[in-house]
């Protein structure tokens, strides 16, 4: 028999995941600016009370979503294999993300501010992940700028593959 609290922890994680997935889907539809906690609750199919039990406000939901997305990108890079594979996986994920696409249209200034905050824990985490894959300080800086450029100007999967291979073999490592 499983302890009562382990079951509650599982429900808590699933509820939080549903909230974050719903929030990302809403952002992909119309950006962040007009997003409300009521919309998040309704779209995520949780009560408002449940939403507020998990997050104090929209900023807290967005912070958790960003952390979740950074963790997802980290997992992509870590499991990719070669540095070129890691860069390609990150590039494709960034270039095809529907929430980023909507933010480019609706929240460009907010997106640029977030992407250029080199002191943020998320920026540093991604840089550390890239460094872990590349083992190159200068290569990490170049790869970060390449990936950040794709947040605002996405590229195709073919371009991702070609450019990642070029960066990994000719420039960085």
Please, are residues 159 and 88 in contact by the beta-carbon 8 Å criterion? no
Average pLDDT of span 78-88: 92
Per-residue confidence (pLDDT) for residue 147, from 0 to 100: 94
Tell me the pTM: 0.87
Condensed to tens digits (0 to 9), the pLDDT of residues 89-122 reads 999 999 999 999 999 999 999 999 988 899 999 9
Report percent pLDDT > 70 for the chain. 91
Per-residue confidence (pLDDT) for residue 135, from 0 to 100: 84
Q: Is 148 helix (H, G, I), strand (E, B) or coil?
A: helix
- Residue for token pair 């990642």: 164
Condensed to tens digits (0 to 9), the pLDDT of residues 27-58 reads 999 999 989 999 999 999 999 999 999 999 99
pLDDT tops 70 at residue 151: yes
Average pLDDT of span 131-159: 91
22-to-25, 67, 107, 137, 140 alpha-carbon distances in Å: 5, 15, 18, 37, 33
CA distance 127 to 137: 9
CA distance 103 to 59: 16
Is CATH 1.10.357.10 what the domain over 4-172 is classified as, yes or no?
A: yes
| Residue 173: count of CB within 10 angstroms of its CB | 16
Q: Is 31 helix (H, G, I), strand (E, B) or coil?
A: coil
| Residue 13: count of CB within 10 angstroms of its CB | 10
């Amino acid at each position: 028999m499983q302890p009562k609290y382990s079951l509650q922890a599982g429900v808590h994680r699933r509820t939080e995941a549903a909230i974050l997935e719903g929030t990302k889907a809403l952002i992909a539809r119309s950006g962040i600016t007009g997003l409300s906690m009521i919309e998040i609750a309704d779209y995520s199919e949780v009560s408002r009370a449940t939403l507020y039990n998990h997050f104090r406000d929209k900023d807290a939901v967005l912070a958790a979503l960003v952390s979740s997305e950074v963790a997802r990108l980290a997992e992509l890079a870590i499991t990719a294999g070669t540095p070129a594979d890691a860069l390609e996986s990150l590039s494709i994920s960034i270039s095809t993300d529907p929430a980023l696409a909507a933010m480019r249209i609706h929240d460009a200034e907010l997106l640029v501010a977030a992407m250029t905050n080199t002191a943020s824990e998320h920026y540093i985490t991604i840089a550390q992940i890239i460094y872990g894959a590349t083992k190159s300080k200068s290569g990490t800086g170049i790869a970060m700028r390449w990936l950040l450029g794709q947040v605002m100007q996405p590229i195709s999967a073919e371009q991702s593959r070609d450019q990642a291979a070029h960066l990994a073999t000719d420039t960085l490592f």
